[in-house]
Amino acid sequence: MRATVDGQPVLIGNARLLSDAGIPTSGLERRAAQLAGEGKTPMFLAVAAEHAGLIAVADTIKADSRAAVQALQRLGLEVVMITGDNERTARAVADLAGIERVMADVLPEDKALQVRALQDEGKLVAMVGDGINDAPALAQADVGVAIGTGTDVAIEAADVTLVSGELRGLVTAMALSKATMRNIRQNLVLAFAYNTAAIPIAAGVLYPATGALLSPMIAAGAMAASSLSVVLNAGRLSRFNAPELPTTQRPGVAAHGVEDGDLHRTTTAPDISDLR
């Protein structure tokens, strides 16, 4: 951000912003690295062409995020975090959430390219996002999943919307998807089993040896039984129960303001977190 306050130019942003303006940040880089290691995003503050301090902000990890990530991993999925935060901050947040692979320092317009890179590795990608800049990545992914509490453009670009806004909804969606595909395969087996057994008999395979033929009444009964079996098996999905996630305590992450290393204030960060 660039602004003018009381006639003085003010800059707030990353180290590159101040560097481009010719303002040194060496006196604050050690503290910025420390804050980044705590999972906070440090922003440099400059007033009148001189560095004036740091502002560090952090998204709190939702209480169920780590449990949801672990549940997704148990389903055989690889969880990857794509974020614009710097590497140290991203790594700290990923450790809290239990995510091993992190793509950090990703510009908003490059998120879709990162999704494409994962697809080029031969992976089927489900992208979860809630922001305006997530929309291209949601459209690029094989399955786009929007957070219901996010922006309208993200919801429009996605294939699935988690209405509750909680990541546990993704676990439910994946588990239900797997249960549905398993049910479909079972139904195919049931449908083909009757036909595989009945068609050869109806064609007279047993007639030369036994004189047996398939009565039309039996054939009709087999067809009805086939349909009934498929319907009853599909009806089992109505008893689907979402996987239970263990209740975990919300990790506490605070936002800090530092003025030349002398003034230290702590406030509670707003709960606007997401796993990007």
- The pLDDT assigned to 86 comes to 81
C-beta of residue 53 within 8 angstroms of C-beta of residue 260: yes
Six-digit token pair at 85?
């935060």
- The pLDDT assigned to 247 comes to 58
- The pLDDT assigned to 80 comes to 94
CA distance 15 to 113: 24
Residues of the chain with pLDDT under 70: 246-276
Is 108 buried (19+), middle (13-18) or exposed (0-12) by CB count in 10 A?
A: middle
- The pLDDT assigned to 246 comes to 65
- The pLDDT assigned to 265 comes to 32
CA distance 55 to 258: 6
Of 250, 257, 256, the closest CA to residue 271 belongs to: 250
Of 64, 236, 93, 33, the closest CA to residue 164 belongs to: 64
- Residues contacting 246, CB < 8 A, separation 6+: 67
Q: What is the DSSP letter of 125?
A: -
Is 111 buried (19+), middle (13-18) or exposed (0-12) by CB count in 10 A?
A: buried
| DSSP 3-state percent helix, strand, coil across the chain (nearest 5) | 45, 20, 35
The residue count of the chain comes to 276
Give pLDDT tens digits for 95-148.
888 999 999 989 888 999 999 999 999 999 999 998 888 999 999 999 999 988
| Backbone angles phi and psi of 185, in degrees to 5 | -65, -40
Q: What is the DSSP letter of 201?
A: H
Taking each continuous run of H as one helix and of E as one strand, the counts in the chain are: 10, 11
Six-digit token pair at 89?
């901050």
Sequence-ordered strand ranges (E) for the chain: 2-5, 8-13, 41-47, 50-57, 80-82, 101-103, 126-129, 143-147, 160-162, 254-259, 263-268
